[in-house]
Structure 1
């Protein structure tokens, strides 16, 4: 299981590197997270400059060495040149892999166009395992992930899988069915994790695993042991929490404030245009969390 990182800002929205060490310890010791996904959606990467993303990736790789099994750095940008710069940098700092999201302002119109973009990014870091990060609800790019995989290894020999953060389980299943034995399909819709495991997910990457990581691990362990009733019970609790949170306007800002409350870390506010949520909302959701889950 992989935890996407909530990025740490000071109160004036400047990046705060000092909290990264305690954050890593929290994820590993309290949540059982052994791999991390850096500079993704939860990390507000599209609100960061290239220089900030370089600084953060470097510090995460440095602090996670010897503690985390893998650090995958998301390097996708609207600009191909920026994506390539971040991919080169990820290789230099010892990242274990890179992931790339689709550009979403000038959107690729076909699977071939998106594959070509991914190839151009991967070509500057050919020895790093490469993942396509599929999240159509954010990018607005509704090309099926399965279509992106078609003969992708011919363009990207370092291709190692998909971070699938979409709700289309048919497309997800087709990805699993098509995948090569040395690829991984990682699922990123936390409230549907059990369904993805049934379909053949190799792992999970989700923003709520920052505070639900140990419970998601229990769900996955129960599934592997064939205890579907236990796995379903945990999934239903996760769904109840997220359904409750969504009624209160659950978004990136709320999720970050909830993470602050439940972890005890000081991760700071989100960066505009994401708004900081009222403390009362985070406390209400935290109370709901504590009514559903016991501490791991």
Structure 2
């Protein structure tokens, strides 16, 4: 992937759509994709944390990825498949399937039960996973808050290319903004570092982020598009105000349990992605109504509507 073709703009970390009984509902994916396209989102990052990847079987993940590629074909929407797994062989199989299905890139996080103790061990784990997708661009998914694996990403960028020639960059969901700057600058900007913290997007932009992956871009892309537009015009007061709106929205959802509440918002917007799988807690009917009331009684509901 050349510098000119790197991912830019908002990349939505999509929800896994479920029926009420918890089974996968592939019929909703066209609505999800259409909503992203209408909102000006550049790409879909499928089967990641927001997509409850570790609560899905391998066949379910393959089916979801395949359907996203089918739906996105012929549209501006690109598809990145997360293939990470605690089992190296399953991750490699997911990578191979994603390449066959026609995704634009793959990504994988570190194993989180038996954890790599250093960068070299992380690279040994990821090498056959990335190789499973041939020359397809590979992004390491750094999210220490979920995996418990906190290793130097600059060391990773220095050492990994010799073993992972298709390494293109990092999906950087890590609160260390000092290291984020270092990764962006590494090798003269050689790698594509996708910013992964929605509540701090403005900070990422100031450091030079061009692409950002986030769950709230599914339902709140208008906020972030206004933020980016204000930033590009050097209207930093407006950009800060929009960022604060996103923080307020995400804090509200977190009160109810973020993942389930985010899916509830999607349903309110006419995209019925369903509930969450255990061990995530489902919203009760009363919680759903309370969330809807608090959203619509504030300026947050208007903030996420298309302009």
For Structure 1 versus Structure 2, the TM-score category normalised by the shorter chain is: over 0.9
| Whole-Å separation in 2 of the counterparts to 1:113 and 1:234 | 41
Q: Is 1:258 aligned to residue 265 of structure 2?
A: yes
Aligned Cα root-mean-square deviation (Å): 1.6
**Structure 1 pair 268/113, CA: closer, same or farther in 2 (3 Å)?**
same
- Which of 181, 191, 194 lines up with 1:183 in the alignment? 191
Check whether the contact 1:5–1:210 (CA below 8 A) recurs between aligned residues: yes
Unpaired runs of 5+ in structure 2?
Answer: 1-9
- Which of 6, 12, 36 lines up with 1:3 in the alignment? 12
| Whole-Å separation in 2 of the counterparts to 1:13 and 1:285 | 27
**Structure 1 pair 237/79, CA: closer, same or farther in 2 (3 Å)?**
same
Task: Output one character per residue of 1:62-92: Cα deviation in whole Å (capped at 9) or x when no partner.
Answer: 1111113421000000100000000000110
Higher mean displacement: 146-155 or 199-208: 146-155
Deviation at 1:265, TM superposition (A): 1.2
**Structure 1 pair 294/96, CA: closer, same or farther in 2 (3 Å)?**
closer
The equivalent residue for 1:290 is 301
Unpaired runs of 5+ in structure 1?
Answer: none
- Which of 277, 280, 285 lines up with 1:271 in the alignment? 277
Output the TM-score relative to the length of structure 1.
Answer: 0.94
Deviation at 1:275, TM superposition (A): 1.4
Deviation at 1:151, TM superposition (A): 2.9
The equivalent residue for 2:132 is 124
**Structure 1 pair 275/91, CA: closer, same or farther in 2 (3 Å)?**
same
Q: Which runs of 4+ in 1 moved over 6 A?
A: none
Check whether the contact 1:7–1:42 (CA below 8 A) recurs between aligned residues: yes
User: Which residues of 2 match residues 188-199 of structure 1 at below 5 A?
Assistant: 188-199=196-207
Deviation at 1:291, TM superposition (A): 5.7
Q: Is 1:135 aligned to residue 143 of structure 2?
A: yes
The equivalent residue for 2:163 is 155
Aligned residue-pair number = 293
The equivalent residue for 1:94 is 102
Check whether the contact 2:109–2:141 (CA below 8 A) recurs between aligned residues: yes
Secondary structure in structure 1 of the residue aligned to 2:214: coil
